[in-house]
Amino acid sequence: MAELNDKERDFYTVRGYERLRQEDRSVTPTMEDYLEMIYRLSKDRGFTRIGDLAGALHVQPPSASKMVQKLAEVSFLNYEKYGVIELTAQGRELGEYLVKRHETIERFLRFIGASKSVLEETEKIEHNLSMETVKQIMLLVQFMEVNQQLMEAFIIYKQSII
C-alpha cells in the first residue's frame, strides 16, 4: 500500500477540503452542472438555447442567462444575448469529460446496488472527486462489466451478509 504524503495526513472538515479544492479550481460545481447540461443539450444540434437549458436544470431563465454569461467570459461558450449557446473547443472537451464522469459515478452506484436516488447521489458525489479517482472508478466499473463472474460473486457475497 502506498505511503501517505504530508498533505494526505492533514484532516480537514468537508468545508475545509472544499476551500482547498477551490484554490486549485477555476470552475465551480454549479458551472460544471451547467456545462454538463449544455453539452448534453447541444450534442446533436451543436447549440442550445437559454429556455432549453433553464428547463432542463429547473431554474429560471434569468439565472441560466447569468451563468451562461459567466461561462462565456471564461471561454467555455460562445453566446450573445437572446442568441444560441455554443460550446467552444475547451467547453466541449470539459463538457464531454463531465458527462463521462457523471455516467461513471452513476454506473458505479448501480453496480454496488444503490437504488434510491441514484441521480441525486451522483450529483452530490461527482463534484467532489478528482480526475484520478474518477479514472480509477471507471477502470473498476469497466473491469467488473467485462468480468461478469466477479460481478455475480460480489452480488452473492453482498446477499450473504445483508
In a domain, 73, yes or no: yes
Q: Which of 45, 71, 92 is the last residue of a domain?
A: 92
3-class DSSP assignment, residue 77: strand
Tell whether 1 is covered by a domain. Answer: no
Question: When comparing pLDDT for 14 and 158, which is higher?
Answer: 158
Torsion 153-155-159-162 (CA) sign: positive
In this structure, are 35 and 87 located in the same domain? yes
pLDDT in tens, 94-112: 999 999 999 999 999 998 8
Per-residue model confidence (pLDDT) at position 21:
59
The boundaries of the domain holding residue 123 are: 99-161
75, 127: one domain: no
Give the residue with greater pLDDT, 34 vs 15. 34
- Within a domain: residue 64? yes
The answer to whether position 22 is within a domain reads: no
Query: Is the same domain home to 116 and 146?
Result: yes
Q: 127 burial class (0-12, 13-18, 19+ CB within 10 angstroms)?
A: middle
**The predicted structure's pLDDT at residue 26:** 78
Are 31 and 75 contacting, i.e. CB atoms less than 8 angstroms apart? no
| Residues 33 and 76 placed together within one structural domain of the fold | yes
- Domain assignment present for residue 9? The answer is no
CA distance 112 to 40: 26
DSSP single-letter state for residue 162: -
Q: Are residues 46 and 87 in the same domain?
A: yes
CATH of the domain at 148: 1.10.60.10
Average pLDDT over every residue of 19-39 = 81
What pLDDT, on a 0 to 100 scale, did the predictor assign at position 115?
76
pLDDT score of 14 more than 80: no
Q: CA–CA separation, 64 vs 57, rounded Å?
A: 9
Is the domain of 111 the same as that of 145? yes
- Total domains present in the chain: 2
Question: Is 132 part of a structural domain of the chain?
Answer: yes
108 within a domain of the structure (yes/no)? yes
What is the per-residue pLDDT for 162? 76
For the stretch 109-153, pLDDT in tens is: 998 888 779 999 999 999 989 899 999 999 999 999 999 999 899
> What are the cell numbers at 116?
434510491
- pLDDT, tens digit, for every residue of 49-96? 999 999 999 999 999 999 999 999 999 999 988 789 999 999 999 999
